[in-house]
Structure 1
Amino acid sequence: GLVDAITPGKEADVQEATTVREALYRLVTDRRLGEQFDREALAVLNAAARKAPATPQLTMAGRHTDATPEQALATVARQAVELLSGPDVPLMKECGNPECTRVYIDRSRGMRRQWCGMESCGNKIKAAAYRARKKSAPATAAR
């Protein structure tokens, strides 16, 4: 949702995006755990954030943003800098699904949200728990 159209990327763009993604995950984990930032991951994110970001344009139909892969990645990196240095840091949580590594901002009442989303992980976990309960429940005698 950050850009409306992106020019096709090359293998090098995919490699760079993967490197930035892994650095960002490390930095988010460091921040969530209250640890010092990993210096190498910090350098990777900051290098991406220094590049020119995507620039929105006003058109007759409204806002439109075209970007190259590098511009899109720079835009993501800048938003990550804002997130990791902003007031939402205490609200960051990692999904409770052991198979998921997504991190989300918990703005739920009571801050008791457990999953990145109900439509994905939450439903899977709840359905599995329901099936497990049904399987282990003693069969009721027929009358």
Structure 2
Amino acid sequence: MIHEFPCGTRVLDFVATLRARRSEQSYEFLTDTVALDAWWLEAGVRTSGRASDEADLAAAVELREALYTVIWHRLNGEVLPGEALALVNERAQSSPVSPTLTASGVVRDGDPAACLVDLAREAIEILGGEEGALLRECSRPECTTIYLDRSRGHRREWCSMQSCGNRAKAAAYRARVRARVATP
């Protein structure tokens, strides 16, 4: 498995394919068409369909950035930017991935454009519905991952306990140890 899925929904995991956005050392997971096709498969967006080409990769990155812009503005209680909103709505209007039930399970067939339709529609449902209130950004300063906080008390702090949560707790522990050692 190449990709990580800590956000609670495919569209937010897709937006998180660019990590540490506000850092000079951001990390891009969608480096080429192979990585994009791997993401579709690993996320369960599709199980079959035409391989992605460079135009599909460019369209995916364009939608990802529009999604991030709209989601970030919703998260921060700001007016949704018109250009990004228009792109998300436009992408949602085409034909989505087609699921088919077979004897061996569900086959989700679609080209890369259909995959983007599914993600745009999912974003619209989250942002326009009650789940929009559950959007949170990881509290680790270097991380910019946005996730849905579906925890019981809605007090989740990190996109993932395995990565950011573990790092934050380890840093806090080291700081406490240094403070004890420094105290005469």
Q: TM-score, normalised by structure 1?
A: 0.89
Do structure 1's residue 22 and structure 2's residue 54 form an aligned pair? Answer: no
Counterpart of 1:3?
Answer: 46
SS in 2 for 1:120: helix
Counterpart of 2:107?
Answer: 64
Specify which structure has the bigger relative contact order, considering alpha-carbon pairs within 8 angstroms and separated by 6 or more residues. Answer: 2
Q: Which moved more, 1:127-136 or 1:51-60?
A: 127-136
Question: Distance between the aligned counterparts of 1:80 and 1:67, measured in 2?
Answer: 19
SS in 2 for 1:110: coil
Counterpart of 2:151?
Answer: 108
SS in 2 for 1:37: coil
Do structure 1's residue 96 and structure 2's residue 151 form an aligned pair? Answer: no
Q: Residue 48 of structure 1: which of 91, 110, 119 is its match? A: 91
Do structure 1's residue 33 and structure 2's residue 72 form an aligned pair? Answer: no
Question: Distance between the aligned counterparts of 1:2 and 1:53, measured in 2?
Answer: 10
Q: Deviations over 1:7-38 (max 9, x none)?
A: 32111111111111111111111111222110
Question: Distance between the aligned counterparts of 2:135 and 2:84, measured in 1?
Answer: 18
Q: Once superposed, what is the RMSD of the aligned Cα atoms?
A: 1.9
Q: Which moved more, 1:126-135 or 1:44-53?
A: 126-135
* AA in 1 matched with 2:59: E
Q: TM-score, normalised by structure 2?
A: 0.71
Question: Distance between the aligned counterparts of 1:131 and 1:91, measured in 2?
Answer: 31
Counterpart of 1:86?
Answer: 129
Question: Distance between the aligned counterparts of 2:66 and 2:90, measured in 1?
Answer: 11
- Which consecutive unaligned segments of at least 5 residues does structure 1 have? none
Identity percentage over the alignment? 46
Counterpart of 2:24?
Answer: none
Q: Which moved more, 1:79-88 or 1:126-135?
A: 126-135
Q: Tell me how far 1:67 sits from its aligned partner.
A: 2.0
Q: Tell me how far 1:58 sits from its aligned partner.
A: 0.8
- Which consecutive unaligned segments of at least 5 residues does structure 2 have? 1-43
Counterparts in 2 of 1:135 and 1:86: CA distance versus 1, 3 Å: same
Q: Give the greater-gyration-radius structure (CA).
A: 1
Question: Distance between the aligned counterparts of 1:2 and 1:128, measured in 2?
Answer: 36
